[in-house]
Chains A and B, each alone.
Chain A
Amino acid sequence: MKEQATLTNTMAPNSRKTEFFKGVRDTLPLAIGAVPFGIIFGTLSGSAGLPAAAAIGMSVFVFAGASQFIALGLVAAGTTWPMIVLTTFIVNFRHLLYTATLLPHLQRLSGRWQALLAFGLTDETFAVAVGRWQSTDASPHKKWYQLGSMLFMYTNWNLCTLAGLTAGRLLADIGGWGLDFAMIAAFIGMVLPYLKDRPNICAVVAAGISALLFHGLPHKLGLIAATLIGIGTGVMVETLAKRDTGATAPTAGAERREIDPWI
């Protein structure tokens, strides 16, 4: 412990600029992964009946890929805006977990920094930034790392939306290019790291089956039902497993599962 303290003291702490560009660099693979999403979002918005201004507005102000895609599908199906906003709430509720995880670190920042970093707390930036916050060195500029990550994702996402709105719309039958499969492939890649224990596997299986069973429900309520059933199944299996193995072990329950997303 003492040795580490000396080490941090003798090394000059990373400057703001160094942290910022480290955040940018570490986000690069995930930003590349988001490129097909952004392009196809811009491209398909037209056929979904969403005007270009609204598509740009979503990328600029909402900045949440999965919910933007789902909104496209709902707009195409003629869903009313309050239902789309409710679905957005459910789909993006996972971000609460991200803030909860980063809370001990973000708590110390000023209100302005908190609002700024919260706005850009996407799946990708969380996956990258959580590692930087939890690393042991005492850099006072870790917030700049997260800022670099989020600004890179943000710029990339908006440029790709524009590319889809302009160049993408010139290409006929974009579906034949496999871009409409990009979201499925990316989401599979994001789910797989979770499938490490029985409760998560059961939760995912239950959510998948429920999503099929309730697919016919109006306003995409099936998505909400399937998610709730999946969560309930996971919690139930976890509770039963603990009861079987003897829940008296002191660490059971208190311990948070760490998911390490692939980068």
Chain B
Amino acid sequence: MDLVYLVAGMALVTFSIRYVLLALSGRVRLSAAMQRALAYVPPTVLTAIIVPAALIPNGETLNFSWTNPYLIGALLTVLIGRLSRNLLATIAGGMLLFVSYQWLLHRGIF
């Protein structure tokens, strides 16, 4: 693993994505179809990260049960988000419920 290449490469691609349209400003226009497709990028990337993190917490086996605190925590976080419609409340409430649920599991309450 060459760490200098890793950090430089990540920095370069990230900055390029954020800057390229400004550099080409006026010369290149994103087509309507391209813009429509791009609008789906944020929710799909984030979901593709969340779902395996919650359902495959050990990185290998699917854990679809109530003894998986990441899954239960994620479902409770969705619920808080739906009710509060506030980002900070969703993160804080979700983490609090996750920690509480994990603690209950460790104590063998269930």
Interface residues of A (CB under 8 A from B): 29-30, 32-33, 36, 50-51, 53-54, 57-58, 61-64, 66-68, 70-71, 75, 77-78, 80-82, 84-85, 88-100, 103, 106-107, 114-115, 118-119, 121, 123, 176-179, 181-192, 194-195, 199-200, 203-204, 206-212, 215, 222-223, 226-227, 230-231, 234-235, 238, 253-254, 256-257, 261-263
Tell me if B65 counts as interface (CB < 8 A to partner A): no
Asked if B41 and A231 sit within 8 Å, CB to CB, the answer is yes
The 8 residue pairs across chains A and B that have the minimum distance between CB atoms: A230-B44, A185-B94, A85-B9, A178-B99, A189-B90, A226-B48, A61-B11, A207-B44
Asked if B17 and A95 sit within 8 Å, CB to CB, the answer is yes
Contact status of A90 and B15, CB under 8 A, knowing A106-B22, A107-B25, A181-B73? no
Bound CA–CA A50/B1 (angstroms): 10
In the assembled complex, which residues on chain B have CB atoms less than 8 Å from the CB atom of A90?
Answer: 45
Bound CA–CA A95/B29 (angstroms): 16
Q: Known pairs A64-B10, A182-B91. 13 more at Cβ < 8 A? A: A62-B11, A67-B14, A75-B1, A88-B13, A91-B49, A96-B17, A114-B23, A183-B53, A188-B78, A200-B43, A223-B48, A227-B48, A235-B33
Tell me if B50 counts as interface (CB < 8 A to partner A): yes
Q: List 9 A-B contacts (CB under 8 A).
A: A96-B17, A177-B99, A185-B74, A186-B87, A186-B91, A203-B44, A204-B47, A212-B56, A254-B32
Contact of A192 among B6, B17, B33, B81 (CB under 8 A): B81
In the assembled complex, which residues on chain A have CB atoms less than 8 Å from the CB atom of B15?
Answer: 118-119
Identify the closest chain B residue to A176 (Cβ). B102
Contact of B19 among A115, A206, A223, A234 (CB under 8 A): A115
Interface string of B12-51 (1 = CB under 8 A from A): 0111011111110110001011011111111111111111
Asked if A80 and B1 sit within 8 Å, CB to CB, the answer is yes
Contact of A57 among B7, B36, B55, B99 (CB under 8 A): B7
Identify the closest chain A residue to B55 (Cβ). A212
Contact of A191 among B39, B43, B96 (CB under 8 A): B43
Bound CA–CA A208/B88 (angstroms): 24
Tell me if B5 counts as interface (CB < 8 A to partner A): yes
Bound CA–CA A188/B3 (angstroms): 31
Contact status of A230 and B42, CB under 8 A, knowing A61-B7, A92-B13, A92-B17? no
Asked if B90 and A192 sit within 8 Å, CB to CB, the answer is yes
Asked if B42 and A97 sit within 8 Å, CB to CB, the answer is yes
**Nearest-CB distance from A145 to chain B (Å)?**
18
Bound CA–CA A123/B41 (angstroms): 12
Asked if A185 and B90 sit within 8 Å, CB to CB, the answer is yes
Asked if B13 and A181 sit within 8 Å, CB to CB, the answer is no
Contact status of A185 and B73, CB under 8 A, knowing A62-B7, A81-B1, A85-B13? yes
Bound CA–CA A22/B96 (angstroms): 30
Asked if A70 and B49 sit within 8 Å, CB to CB, the answer is yes
Asked if A230 and B47 sit within 8 Å, CB to CB, the answer is yes
**Nearest-CB distance from B62 to chain A (Å)?**
7
